[in-house]
Structure 1
Amino acid sequence: MNISSLHGLPISLWAHARYRTRHLSTRRRSTAFSSHHAATAIERIYVINLDRAQERWTMVNRELSRLRDAAGHPLHTLARRFPAVDARYLKDSPPPEFLEPTYTLAEQLLVDPHPRLDIDDAARATRIDMTPQEIAVALSHIHVWQLIATNDAPYTLILEDDAYVTRTCMSVLEHAWSDIQASSDAGHPVDLLYLSYQETGEEADPRRHRRFLLRCPTGGVWQLSGYVLSQAGARKLLDQLPAHGPIDLWINQQFGHLNVQMTHRPIIEQRPGIASSNSYSVMPVLAKVGAIRREAPQSLQHRPTRDPILVIGEPGTGLSTLAKALSVLGFRCVSDLTTLPADETQALVRGSRRRIFDAYVNIGSLTPREVARIVSANRVRLIMTTMSATAAKPPSPFQEAWDQQRPERRLMLPADDPDPWQTLARFLACDYPTHPWPSQPEQGQRSVATRSQSDASASGHPLAWDTSPWIIQRAGWSGIMPKMSAPQDNALQASQNAAMWHEGTQLEDRHWYLREDTFPSNRALFRPGNATLPPRGPATLTLREEVSKVRDLTGAAIASRPSFTYGAFSARLRAPSGSGLVTGLFLHRNGPRQEIDIEILGQDTTRMLVNVFYNPGIPGTKLEYGYRGTPAVIDLGFDASKEFHHYEIDWQPDCIRWRVDGATVYERVLWDPTPVPDQPLEFNVNLLSSESTEFAGPLEREALPAVLEISSLEARGLPQA
């Protein structure tokens, strides 16, 4: 993956324009293709295509049907669909011997050098695990090479199913193929010809190569969405196996064994507007080492639905899991409650678009009679969960509602469905997600308490929020407050499940570590040397001017080794003052991104900022949406830089409470304005400077070095392995 390739609006518009004008080609026939055996000709086309995306195969076939080979036959007669390896089936399957699913940061930098990173011992020691998507792509290409090596076609064109042929493709190939034939006649046959690619380095400018039809790569080359491979080239690649790392990265390392050529500019492109399902393993590593300074917020392609989704079923049939799956798909889903707020019930019954939610799962007040009434009076989608496909019939109380619904607008979803994503995505006309199917314990229907206007949440001053399906922005809305259940487990109270540190004691390695990394919006690189833990007095984290290749500041951070699910997380500290400084006390995870924050901004240490980021899914769900989160400012009533104070996040399944010196100063319940984070989170305390002057103000260099003092840390919750 070429991280320097940023597709902004101008590039996106240009890509769409190129795609729309592809039919205006002056040549639609090329002698490079032949349906009859020839010494040097492309006689076969393989299109790598997922079984669940056969509409893409249809689109590629349609593209090829307008082009002709040497004899005038449509190119689609040469095309064969190759079933791609699906990442969803790789979860429990070890990779084959010919693929090693790890690589190093040094190998990435050899292909795509970064001005701020060195290929040093640290880069060589940094191992990166390929994502399931990268493994699936690699296996698909290797399996195609195995086919090519055993068939009798001298050259084969390999296409990924999101590729299209540009306006100049056939013309360039027609003129370039004579060079390929001449090279073959001279005893130097071309093994690999890139038709679609992205280059790294200075040679990436195509204007440098206008006078050439073909040329050798001079730097790193990314993409394998369109390339020609000879039978001999396929055998050479197979001889070099096992591959390791993303396949377009690994193939660069084989250039010494192959005669590799590329057209003067890409003549096969990826269709614009098609979101890639790939997940790039190198990106989190590059972010941690500081190669990425700014991050663009992930945009969620949410398909809003006009029709509400009603989900009913017997207890134990996967209702809570289905609620999570609907949320992952981008639907705003409320679930597992005895009743809905009155206004929401009225909007649902009346078919009003003033509804807050898209989906309603296991709601007790939606009785069989009420569901039948809603189904008969409104356009809805009805889903019923069952234990198994063999017992796929609606519970008798809901038979009337089921019979009233049109067959195409109702779905029976058994808990033992072998591919529930496919069943659900087809029913809701959604793209098949790359995220894992969730596995959620059944919550049952929770009673809802009345929330008074005097609750602590009223004390906050909201700032600008992100926009996402999982944030409710509605005036007068105050969330849903289930009646608190009994404590999760006695372990929440047990000292052996607490990671604690107090001044003058040792920071235990089994509980805590000092961070040695960063993240894109942090102007500082965390270094353990900036943390001190003296035998007497508080620990200190220092932010100072110290230039490295990736940052011009260094800071410090302490993090818990275990991640926790629910509990109380606190620190007693004194924050530094100064514009641009940020003291953070927070819980965090990625994949999916969830976060609960306390931040004290140095530009005004009489206030603290609280925040929640929420993305749905289980660990491994690559939803990282959110740049601002849902922040609110709390007036402390004192200056946090003058004295030590105790700050605490009390995180429970249905509520988050923020406390200062033991008093609750703010709280949020379900959908106020987000669901409560529910995945294991790591506890952190840090001192940094933000890239965002809008958020933290411009950095006052005079305030450096700045020191955060900490007299105690405590993380008491349910630790995760």
Structure 2
Amino acid sequence: MKKYTHNHFWKTPFGKFKYFVRKIFFKQKCIAFETKNKTRIEKIFSINLDRKTQRWKQLLNELSLVVDASSIPISEMNIRFPAIDAVLINQKTNKKQLTTNYTLADQLFVEPENLLLHADFKKNEIIQMSRQEEAVALSHIAVWAKIASGNDEYTLVLEDDVFFDNCFSKILNSAWEELTANDSPLKTFDLLYLSYVEAKNNAPKLLITDHLFAPLSGMWHLSGYVLSKTGANKLLELLPVKGPVDLWMNHQFQKLKVYATARSIISQNDSLGSDNSYSALPVLLRLGALTFDTGSTFCPEKLPKPVFVMGENGLVQSSIATALLMLGYRTCFGVNVLPRAEAEKLFGKNKHTIFDAYVGIVELEIRVEELTELYPNSKFIFTGTRQVDTLRALGTNALFLETIENCNWEKICEFLDCLPPASNFPILIDTIECRTLAPSKSNPQRFPRKRTLKHDVSPWIVSSHKKWSGLTFENTDNSFFIERKYTITANKFYDFTEKEWELLEDTFPSNMALFRHNNFLQTQSDQASIVLKKENSYAREYTSASIKSNKSFLYGRFETVLKPARGAGLVTGFFLQRNSPRQEIDIEILGNNTHQMVANVYYNPGVEGSNFDYGNRGTPVLIDLGFDAADNFHSYVIEWTPIAIRWFVDGRLVYERVNWSPTPIPHLPMNCFINLWYCRSKEFAGPLSDRSLPATSTIRSVCIEGGTPRNERKNLS
């Protein structure tokens, strides 16, 4: 799960003043870099991405605060080492250098999780490294090779987001004297940790001196360490790295002479932000080892606005539209003309538009000159081969991308002066169809009473506007969009098979219960029950069950007939969901008020594998049902098409969403789920009373008529 944390303390007036004071009054002298010493740190390699120029400047400033005995800043011996960029990383990693998957057991060796001590059946679960983790590992391996081939005995390796503690020189001076004394048995060390974070319950270690210890495991981060030439050669002999490089290093401690300063003396500078993605986190959350709420917020940098994409080649435009969404633009695409209210704002005095990027809208192409006058700093991207003199005259405010082969993050992000996300550029297989907006209805559909709940904040959610109701297109016939249908029925649960459905054995952070197979019961020939009860498990004090379709579906009609559990704290869910990117369409019935139903949508942009999993609330709406759902069985339907989502109860349309009301429609294949869970949030579902347990949600049937994703169509007969 990708998190962005932007703490701009050092950019504030107080932060700048504090940095100025450090620079003037707190320069540190460090003997470890002293040229008169026979054994010293002779060089610094700082790993820095080409596109992270601000980090490099900040690092040079930081290095200037440490000097040797001659008052020469150690920045003088610093050499920039170009980092491997996760955005540009080759799909085929050199297997002799890096094995991109590892196991949960490898993770637990470094960071034991008490909740998983007895979950032996899960410890061999395979975890796939994130692209960011691969890039970091390959960058360090390349540095090791450089050190091994050089002549320097000891080299300091830094990542570009470091911050030297005020006690850096004092502690390193003492440690270095103990390491390099003529009679010291520690003299020929391989690696010295200067920057680290210990495992939660502290790293197991051997205390060597007052200033040094030898770690046995439990050491995270490789932001700053001293590596000997001998140590570099040993590390290269131990390749391939398996999993994240800091995790793998722990598994090599028995084969190396590794020490660490008594405390970490190099920290990570939070003000620079981080776009790393930790591959073990989703697994630990799913198994219940971690219980904190991980919903992260997408924080885009300041972007030039508006952006207009015009021209030919719908495939290129479709890919650019997706790319702009991933950068944080609220992008209008797939329409012939703008809605009247949006056009009036765009060309009028009130420029508070819903969108800040517009792709493939023909009516805008004939008004380019007007747009350039209204928005002199706007950016234009032209696709196709046809020349447009007006756009050519825009100079640096125009970018020309003739074919899909010309489209990549480097060109677009250089043009927009922004950083690319750490995901592949989205090359779409299908062109996004340009549709006709439906005329406004004089008598709009009347729905049951509803209440909008607190929702996430992101570029892909339109805040409530009185005059905005989304993009409503003509033709909402679901069958029109599904080329092939695949039907799953579960009205006879005694025929429940693993071929069609999977019983899950996991959880999620907001869920206080662990899903177990035994909590799914086939009570009658035509019914199945999910039972939530008080029962200790390896990760939770309550257990329940969840079923998931083995197949994923792209659009369709999803129906269940069920009777939800009654009781505060309980939630019965029927929903569609996927990750990377996270998209979701929900029906949830809260046990503390079974007269109501929650309809919800999570949307993140991208294509398969895009690491966009933001949000922890979605965009929920509470709908009055007009009856008590827990008294009897009722039919609940999600109808999902490319242009609308509809929710039905007992055949009655109770709610509908169209594009950008308030999110785009999820556009990637999702699996279908039914579950019963204990909600951590008392605000959302109320406090659970153990006296109401066991609680049961009973399912009579499930029927899915779902579109088949492109990659599965060839397997259908």
* Structure 1 and Structure 2 fold alike (TM over 0.5): yes
Which is worse superposed, 449-458 or 220-229?
Answer: 449-458
Give the drift of 1:599.
0.5
Q: Secondary structure at the match of 1:711?
A: strand
Alignment-derived partner of residue 563 in structure 2: 574
Per-residue CA deviation, residues 338-359 of structure 1 (Å, 9 max, x unaligned), is 1112121111112533211111
Give the drift of 1:444.
3.9
Per-residue CA deviation, residues 38-88 of structure 1 (Å, 9 max, x unaligned), is 642111111112233244334323433453345554323322222222223
Work out the CA distance in 2 between the residues paired with 1:125 and 1:355: 51
Work out the CA distance in 1 between the residues paired with 2:56 and 2:11: 23
Structure 2 residue 695 is matched with structure 1 residue 706: yes
Work out the CA distance in 2 between the residues paired with 1:543 and 1:357: 44
Give the drift of 1:22.
4.3
Structure 2 residue 375 is matched with structure 1 residue 378: yes
> Are residues 201 and 666 of structure 1, via their aligned partners in 2, closer, same or farther at CA, if it must alter by over 3 Å?
closer
Work out the CA distance in 2 between the residues paired with 1:713 and 1:259: 60
Give the drift of 1:646.
0.9
The correspondence for 2:325, drawn from 324, 327, 334, is 327
Alignment-derived partner of residue 487 in structure 2: 498
Query: Is the 2:9–2:271 Cα contact (8 Å) retained in structure 1?
Result: no
Work out the CA distance in 1 between the residues paired with 2:481 and 2:300: 40
> Are residues 93 and 211 of structure 1, via their aligned partners in 2, closer, same or farther at CA, if it must alter by over 3 Å?
closer
Alignment-derived partner of residue 467 in structure 2: 476
The correspondence for 1:422, drawn from 410, 413, 424, is 410
Work out the CA distance in 2 between the residues paired with 1:15 and 1:622: 32
Give the drift of 1:672.
0.7
The correspondence for 1:439, drawn from 408, 427, 434, is 427
Query: Is the 1:24–1:167 Cα contact (8 Å) retained in structure 2?
Result: no
Query: Is the 1:307–1:379 Cα contact (8 Å) retained in structure 2?
Result: no
Query: Is the 1:364–1:445 Cα contact (8 Å) retained in structure 2?
Result: no
Give the drift of 1:120.
5.3
Give the drift of 1:529.
0.6
Per-residue CA deviation, residues 640-675 of structure 1 (Å, 9 max, x unaligned), is 111111111000000000011222111000111111
Alignment-derived partner of residue 308 in structure 1: 306
Work out the CA distance in 1 between the residues paired with 2:466 and 2:661: 12
Alignment-derived partner of residue 522 in structure 2: 533
Work out the CA distance in 2 between the residues paired with 1:612 and 1:75: 53
Work out the CA distance in 2 between the residues paired with 1:642 and 1:486: 33
Query: Is the 1:203–1:218 Cα contact (8 Å) retained in structure 2?
Result: no
Query: Is the 1:43–1:154 Cα contact (8 Å) retained in structure 2?
Result: yes
Correspondences of 1:2-401 after superposition (within 5 Å): 22-23=22-23, 26-34=26-34, 39-70=38-69, 72-118=71-117, 121-182=120-181, 185-186=184-185, 188-203=187-202, 212-217=210-215, 219-303=217-301, 305=303, 307-316=305-314, 318-350=316-348, 352-368=350-366, 370-387=367-384, 391=385, 395-396=386-387, 398-401=388-391
Query: Is the 1:565–1:679 Cα contact (8 Å) retained in structure 2?
Result: yes
Letter in 2 for 1:513: E
> Are residues 491 and 562 of structure 1, via their aligned partners in 2, closer, same or farther at CA, if it must alter by over 3 Å?
same
Work out the CA distance in 2 between the residues paired with 1:12 and 1:525: 44
> Are residues 486 and 645 of structure 1, via their aligned partners in 2, closer, same or farther at CA, if it must alter by over 3 Å?
closer
Alignment-derived partner of residue 521 in structure 1: 510
Give the drift of 1:711.
1.0
Query: Is the 1:597–1:611 Cα contact (8 Å) retained in structure 2?
Result: yes
Structure 2 residue 452 is matched with structure 1 residue 462: yes
Query: Is the 2:10–2:271 Cα contact (8 Å) retained in structure 1?
Result: no
Structure 2, unmatched stretches of 5+, are 713-717
Aligned positions, number:
704
Work out the CA distance in 2 between the residues paired with 1:704 and 1:362: 56
Work out the CA distance in 2 between the residues paired with 1:695 and 1:249: 38
> Are residues 120 and 298 of structure 1, via their aligned partners in 2, closer, same or farther at CA, if it must alter by over 3 Å?
closer
Give the drift of 1:567.
0.5
Structure 1 residue ranges, 4+ long, deviating more than 6 angstroms after superposition: 6-20, 208-211
Query: Is the 2:478–2:640 Cα contact (8 Å) retained in structure 1?
Result: no
Give the drift of 1:179.
0.9
Query: Is the 1:110–1:119 Cα contact (8 Å) retained in structure 2?
Result: no
> Are residues 504 and 557 of structure 1, via their aligned partners in 2, closer, same or farther at CA, if it must alter by over 3 Å?
closer
Structure 2 residue 589 is matched with structure 1 residue 600: yes
Task: Provide the TM-score with structure 1 as the length reference.
Answer: 0.91
Which is worse superposed, 589-598 or 297-306?
Answer: 297-306
Work out the CA distance in 1 between the residues paired with 2:253 and 2:468: 61
Query: Is the 2:87–2:421 Cα contact (8 Å) retained in structure 1?
Result: no
Alignment-derived partner of residue 692 in structure 1: 681
Give the drift of 1:275.
2.2
Letter in 1 for 2:219: V
Which is worse superposed, 186-195 or 228-237?
Answer: 186-195
Work out the CA distance in 2 between the residues paired with 1:609 and 1:485: 23
Query: Is the 1:287–1:520 Cα contact (8 Å) retained in structure 2?
Result: yes
Q: Secondary structure at the match of 1:145?
A: helix
Alignment-derived partner of residue 552 in structure 1: 541
Report 1 or 2 for greater relative contact order, CA contacts < 8 Å, sequence distance ≥ 6: 2
Per-residue CA deviation, residues 241-272 of structure 1 (Å, 9 max, x unaligned), is 22211110111111112222222222222222
> Are residues 144 and 636 of structure 1, via their aligned partners in 2, closer, same or farther at CA, if it must alter by over 3 Å?
same
Query: Is the 1:28–1:68 Cα contact (8 Å) retained in structure 2?
Result: yes
Structure 1, unmatched stretches of 5+, are none
Per-residue CA deviation, residues 363-384 of structure 1 (Å, 9 max, x unaligned), is 132241x222121233342323
Which is worse superposed, 307-316 or 484-493?
Answer: 484-493
Structure 2 residue 639 is matched with structure 1 residue 650: yes
Task: Provide the TM-score with structure 2 as the length reference.
Answer: 0.91
Which is worse superposed, 670-679 or 374-383?
Answer: 374-383
Alignment-derived partner of residue 715 in structure 2: none
Query: Is the 2:583–2:603 Cα contact (8 Å) retained in structure 1?
Result: yes
Work out the CA distance in 1 between the residues paired with 2:703 and 2:319: 32
Give the drift of 1:90.
3.3
Work out the CA distance in 2 between the residues paired with 1:611 and 1:626: 12
